[in-house]
Structures are given as structure tokens and as C-alpha cells.
Structure 1
Amino acid sequence: MNASERIATLASFFSCSQEEAAKIDAATRLAHYRHKDILAHQGDLGAKLWIVLAGRAQLQIIGIDGQTKLLTAHGPGELFGAFPQERIVISDVVVQNRLSVLEIPTAKMTALLQEEARIGSGLSRILGRQYNAVLDRMAARITLTANGRIYAELLHEAGDNDRISPPPVIAALALSAQTTRETGSRAINALERRGIIRRDEERLEIISRSLLEELVV
């Protein structure tokens, strides 16, 4: 992704002008991470924000039972990190598949928001969407079966394109749905047998979104 593409993406993310997006781009650093890379450890001092361009990152914590639990996950068009000031990181930040982000120090983002009101307005909308997504996941954990949570996560990750590329790692998908890898594998295999999804090394594609939505129970 070149500079002009990044600026256009940022203008869309923040609902701001190209000039305002260029200021964000100038304050950031483009970075790429591989599967299972750790961006931050629980207990670190957090002093930056990550704006997701592609891929996903999971915020994972260790529960009182010693098992890894998913706090939340972030994908394209979302951001996470220390805001509005530096703070202690409350979870490990782990890459799922691969991740492309723009990194910006917390202090620089705070300064930009003071200078450009439209960037702040766009940020509030992004955080509002993320807040609603967290509530949706919390509700799913309470009301849905394990398979239903797997299917809901597939729909969420696929978005409007009905495609996830590269295909999700089953263990990471299961963690997102707060279930076991074995349960996740059985749920995905059942979808393939019924022709509801198709997957290969490059992508997972939802063939029948309506049938998949009916299974979210």
C-alpha cells in the first residue's frame, strides 16, 4: 500500500479530508506482522495506537483457571492501544494470521485530535462501532451455543464480501468464539460438508450466507 492509498484509506476510516488524513499518515509508521507475533505483553507500558489496515489482532488474557481467554479482537478499520494517554497494557496483543497496521504514538494522536476536530469526530464514530461490537460479542457468549458463536464470528470476519483471506486459523477462531479448537474444527467441517462454505489455502468463502445465518443460534 503506497502513501496515496494509505491516505485514501485513512480519509475513509476517519471521515475526514485528504489533507487531514495526510497529517495522520505523516505521524504514523506502516508495519506488518506475522501470525502469532506479539505487539504488546500484559503489564507493559502502552504508549502507542495501532490503526488496522488488514488482518486481525486479538487481545488475550490469562484467566484465573490458567486458560487463555479472548478479551476482544480488532480488524480493518478499527484501532486499539493506549488512549487518550499512556497506560499499562491489560492483555497480550497477538496477531491472527497476518496484520498490517499504522502505528502512532499516543502523544502524537492526542496532539492531532487537538488540532483537527474532524479527525476527533471520525475517531468517536470508530470507537462507537467498536463498543457496539464488544456488546454484540458479550451477548453472543451469553445467548448462543458454541457452534452458534463460531458461525457468528465467521459472519463478522467475512463482512459484506462473504470472504476471509487468508482463511482463519481454527484455533484463533475458536478462541474468538470462546470455545475449544475441536469444537471449532467440527463446526467448520460441518459447514463444508453442507456446501455452506468453501475454503482452500487462499481463502474461506461463504457460499450461502442465509443458511449460515440460520445456524447462529
Structure 2
Amino acid sequence: MTSSDRIAALAAFFSCSPEEAARVDSATRLVHYRHKAILAHQGDPGAKLWIVLEGRAQLQIIGVDGQTKLLAAHGPGELFGAFPHERIVISDVVAQTGLSVLEIPTAKMTVLLQEEARIGSGLAKILGRQYNAVLDRMAARITLTANGRVYAELLHEAGEKGEIAPPPVIAALALSAQTTRETGSRAINALERRGIIRRDDKRLEILSRGLLEELVI
């Protein structure tokens, strides 16, 4: 990804001018992580933010039953990390897929927000969307069946394009849906048998969004 690509993406994320986005870009460092790479461990000192350009990251914690639980997940246009102050990392941060992020020290972001009002306004909108996503996931956990959560997560990751490329890792998808890998695998296989989705090595494509939405129960 070129510098101009990053600046264009940041301008879209923060709803700011290219000049303001360039200030953010100059304060960051572009980093690529492989699938399952660990960005930070629970208990580490936290002094940076990550802005997601491509891929997805999961914030994972170990529950009292010893099982891995999903705290949150973040994709393109979202950010996570220590904010507004440095703090201890409360979860493991894991690359769900290949992940490209812009890393910025918390202190530098604080300075940018003080100097660039539009960046602060854009950040507030991003955090608002992420807050709503967390509430949606909590509501799904309470009201939906395990299969329903898998299908809801599939719709969320596919977005308006109706496809996920490369196809999602079933274990990661199941974790996002707060269920087991076996349940996630059975749910996805059922969709394939019914012709609701098509999946190969390159992508997963939703063929009938309406039928899939009807299964989110």
C-alpha cells in the first residue's frame, strides 16, 4: 500500500482532508502481521493504537473455564489499543487473518487530537460505530442461537459486497460468534448444502442474502 493509498484511506476513516490525514500517516508506522500473529499479550504495558487498513484483529481473553473468549473484533476503518491514556493491555490481541495496520503511539495520537479538531470528530464517529457493534454482539449473544450468531457474523464480515476474500477461518469465525469450531463448521456446511453460500480457496460468496438473513434466529 502506497503512502497516497494510506492517506486516502485515513481521510475516509476520519472524514478529514488529505492534508489532515497526511499528518496522521506521518505519525504512524505501517506494519503487516500474519494470521495468528500476536500484536500484544494480556498484561503487557499498552502505549500505542492500531488503525486497521486490511484484515481483522481479535481481542481474546481466557475465561474462568479456561476457554478462549472473544472480547471484541476490529476490521478496516476501526482502531483499538491504549486510549486516551497508556494502560495495561486487558486481552491478547491476535491477527484473525493477514493484518495490515498503522501503529501510532498513544501520546502522538493525543497531540494530533488536540491540534486537529476534524480528526477528533472523525475518531468520535469511529468509536461510536465500534460501541454499537459491541452492543450488537452482546445482544446477539443473549438472543440468538449458536447457529444464528454464526450467520449474523458471516453477514457482518461479508458486508455489502456479499463476499469474504480470502474465506474466513472457521475457528476464528466461530470465536467471533461465541461458539465452538465444530458448531461453526456444521453451520457453514449446512449453508453450502442449501446453496446459500459458495466457498472455495479464494473466497466465500453469499448467493442468497435473504435466505441467510432468515436463519439469523
TM-score, length-normalised on structure 2? 0.99
User: Helix, strand or coil for the counterpart of 2:65?
Assistant: coil
Tell me what 2:6 maps to: 6
Tell me what 1:120 maps to: 120
Any unmatched runs of 5+ in structure 2?
Answer: none
Tell me how far apart the structure 2 counterparts of residues 190 and 33 of structure 1 sit (CA, whole Å): 32
Tell me how far apart the structure 1 counterparts of residues 34 and 205 of structure 2 sit (CA, whole Å): 22
Tell me how far apart the structure 2 counterparts of residues 154 and 164 of structure 1 sit (CA, whole Å): 9
User: Helix, strand or coil for the counterpart of 2:54?
Assistant: strand
User: Helix, strand or coil for the counterpart of 1:42?
Assistant: coil
Tell me what 2:86 maps to: 86
Deviations 1:98-148 (A, max 9, x none): 101111000000000000000000000000000000000000000000000
**Identical residues among aligned pairs (%):** 85
Tell me how far apart the structure 1 counterparts of residues 15 and 202 of structure 2 sit (CA, whole Å): 31
After TM superposition, the structure 1 = structure 2 runs for residues 40-79 of structure 1, keeping only pairs within 5 Å, are 40-79=40-79
Tell me how far apart the structure 1 counterparts of residues 34 and 6 of structure 2 sit (CA, whole Å): 20
Counterpart residue type for residue 113 of structure 1: L
Counterpart residue type for residue 172 of structure 1: A
After TM superposition, give the deviation of residue 8 of structure 1 in Å: 0.6
TM-score, length-normalised on structure 1? 0.99
Deviations 1:59-112 (A, max 9, x none): 000001111100010001100000011000000001112101111000000000
Tell me how far apart the structure 1 counterparts of residues 197 and 29 of structure 2 sit (CA, whole Å): 36
1:102 equivalent in alignment to 2:102: yes
Deviations 1:162-211 (A, max 9, x none): 11111110001111111111100000000011111111111111111111
Tell me how far apart the structure 1 counterparts of residues 216 and 132 of structure 2 sit (CA, whole Å): 18
Tell me what 1:179 maps to: 179
User: Helix, strand or coil for the counterpart of 1:104?
Assistant: strand
Tell me what 1:197 maps to: 197
User: Helix, strand or coil for the counterpart of 2:96?
Assistant: strand
Tell me how far apart the structure 1 counterparts of residues 160 and 45 of structure 2 sit (CA, whole Å): 36
Tell me how far apart the structure 1 counterparts of residues 202 and 31 of structure 2 sit (CA, whole Å): 22
Counterpart residue type for residue 83 of structure 1: F
Tell me how far apart the structure 2 counterparts of residues 78 and 36 of structure 1 sit (CA, whole Å): 19
Tell me how far apart the structure 2 counterparts of residues 115 and 199 of structure 1 sit (CA, whole Å): 47
Tell me what 2:165 maps to: 165
After TM superposition, give the deviation of residue 212 of structure 1 in Å: 0.5
User: Helix, strand or coil for the counterpart of 2:97?
Assistant: strand
After TM superposition, give the deviation of residue 156 of structure 1 in Å: 0.5
User: Helix, strand or coil for the counterpart of 1:97?
Assistant: coil
Tell me how far apart the structure 2 counterparts of residues 30 and 205 of structure 1 sit (CA, whole Å): 30
Any unmatched runs of 5+ in structure 1?
Answer: none
